[in-house]
Amino acid sequence: MSVLPTGPALVTVLTAILMFGLAFQVGRARIKHRVMPPQMTGPPEFERTLRVQGNTLESSVPFLAVLWVFALTVSQVWATVLGLVWIAARVAYAVGYIRSASGRLPGFMISTLIFLALMLGSLVGLLLDLTRSPSAP
Amino acid sequence: MSVLPTGPALVTVLTAILMFGLAFQVGRARIKHRVMPPQMTGPPEFERTLRVQGNTLESSVPFLAVLWVFALTVSQVWATVLGLVWIAARVAYAVGYIRSASGRLPGFMISTLIFLALMLGSLVGLLLDLTRSPSAP
Amino acid sequence: MSVLPTGPALVTVLTAILMFGLAFQVGRARIKHRVMPPQMTGPPEFERTLRVQGNTLESSVPFLAVLWVFALTVSQVWATVLGLVWIAARVAYAVGYIRSASGRLPGFMISTLIFLALMLGSLVGLLLDLTRSPSAP
């Protein structure tokens, strides 16, 4: 057994797989719509696929940051549960947004709410840490 | 009390909040300037807001990487102090750049200097770790 | 001696330096090709430099995620070795892609294979953790 909390670590690897999968989708969309690198504009479906990948990266970095602080100060189990729902919401966002611009909204809203919950929980967890251990190094 | 160093963890959560806040600003700028997703071009103020968000993401990833290596090999207190100044500088960058292209410079320069300090400190910290523990696993 | 695994920490700092160095290259390409911020389009060489930086950021986030899970569940030594090869491949990608669009391919393919190895290894490592410690908290 390693020292790593398994649940949040699994969510982290799944987030990495999601980012990799979406970059792969951009590669496929480049071939389908004949948009050669380094071009970043093309038909609407290509540009939506590009935004899915870009927005997911932009969301994953702050998500992973608060996921780990939440896991280590509040609850590993809840970090894992919320993390898995976040990933499902981001998959729904990707599938919906590639189809149409409005299709991005349900997944976007659910993943944003989960981010906010992890973020507020992290701040509370850090505050409790500080008050519980005033003499810690 | 958790095992997590509270200072660097707080800097990490504040960085996540900054990234989230700037993505929220892009959403507001999309409405204000009527630039609908997935469009990524528009009036100069919109494009500057987009660059603020993009550049902050691009800077946050290497910043968080060296922040933690510095915190765990050199000093948690200094990682926290430098980290908080970095965040203040990135807020100044965001406010300045949304106003004008040249307004990005002071915040950009201060945050870059802090990144370089954390980066060099991390390398020194890792080097000292290696020399101090030649027989460690 | 700190608690931080030195090898993966060194790979992490080198990845941060790579991201910083490529952002610096974009700044130089902006001056060389006279593309002022916040503009994101210009001559092909400028746009390739921009893609090198963007794609490296997009790859570094999932790379660092699986690097650490792999290091803490499978092997720190192998994480370090694979990590250093990944960085060398990303440098080859950058040098090749700035020269020509097809020049990106060798470095891209090697770094992708290493990502996949770290990703699969992480999943196996987490699975072994779960089966070895059914009664862990």
User: Percentage of residues in chain B with pLDDT exceeding 90?
Assistant: 91
Mean pLDDT of C62-90: 98
Sorting pLDDT into bands at 50, 70 and 90, what band is A2? low
Q: Which residue in chain A is spatially nearest to C63 when comparing CA positions?
A: A16
Chain B closest-CA separation from residue C96 CA (Å): 21
Nearest C-alpha neighbor of B67 from the set B58, B78, B57 = B78
- Quick one: pLDDT at residue C137? 45
Closest CB from B4, B39, B57 relative to A61: B57
- Quick one: pLDDT at residue C134? 53
Side-chain half-sphere of C134: how many Cα atoms within 13 Å? 1
Mean pLDDT of B125-133: 86
DSSP 8-class letter at B3 = S
Size of interface B-C (CB pairs under 8 A): 74
Q: Residue written as tokens 């933690």?
A: B68
Non-local CB neighbours of B87 within 8 Å, separated by 6+ positions: B11, B14, B15, B18
- Quick one: pLDDT at residue B74? 96
Sorting pLDDT into bands at 50, 70 and 90, what band is C132? confident
DSSP 8-class letter at C135 = T
Contact C58 A2 (CB under 8 A): no
- Quick one: pLDDT at residue A132? 77
Helices (H) and strands (E) in chain C, counts: 4, 0
Non-local CB neighbours of B65 within 8 Å, separated by 6+ positions: C12, C13, C15, C16, C64
To the question of pTM greater than 0.80 for the whole model, the response is yes
Mean pLDDT of C109-131: 96
Question: What is the value of ipTM here, to two decimals?
Answer: 0.94
Domains for chain C: give ranges and CATH numbers: 6-131 (1.20.120.550)
For residue range A30-49, list pLDDT tens digits in order: 999 999 999 999 999 999 99
Helices (H) and strands (E) in chain B, counts: 4, 0
CA B130, distance to chain mean position in Å, is 28
- Quick one: pLDDT at residue C136? 47
Chains contacting chain A through 3 or more C-beta pairs under 8 A: B, C
Question: What mean pLDDT, rounded, does chain B reach?
Answer: 94
Sorting pLDDT into bands at 50, 70 and 90, what band is A75? very high
Chain A interface with C: residues with Cβ < 8 Å: 1-4, 6, 9-10, 12-13, 15-17, 19-20, 23, 36-40, 53, 57, 60-61, 64, 76
For residue range C22-42, list pLDDT tens digits in order: 999 999 999 999 999 999 999
Question: What mean pLDDT, rounded, does chain A reach?
Answer: 94
Contact C13 B136 (CB under 8 A): no
Sorting pLDDT into bands at 50, 70 and 90, what band is B2? low
For residue range B45-63, list pLDDT tens digits in order: 999 999 999 999 999 999 9
Sorting pLDDT into bands at 50, 70 and 90, what band is C71? very high
For residue range A85-137, list pLDDT tens digits in order: 999 999 999 999 999 999 999 999 999 999 999 999 999 999 998 887 655 44
Q: Which residue in chain B is spatially nearest to A132 when comparing CA positions?
A: B1
Contact A6 C48 (CB under 8 A): no
Q: Which residue has the higher pLDDT, C4 or B81?
A: B81
- Quick one: pLDDT at residue B53? 97
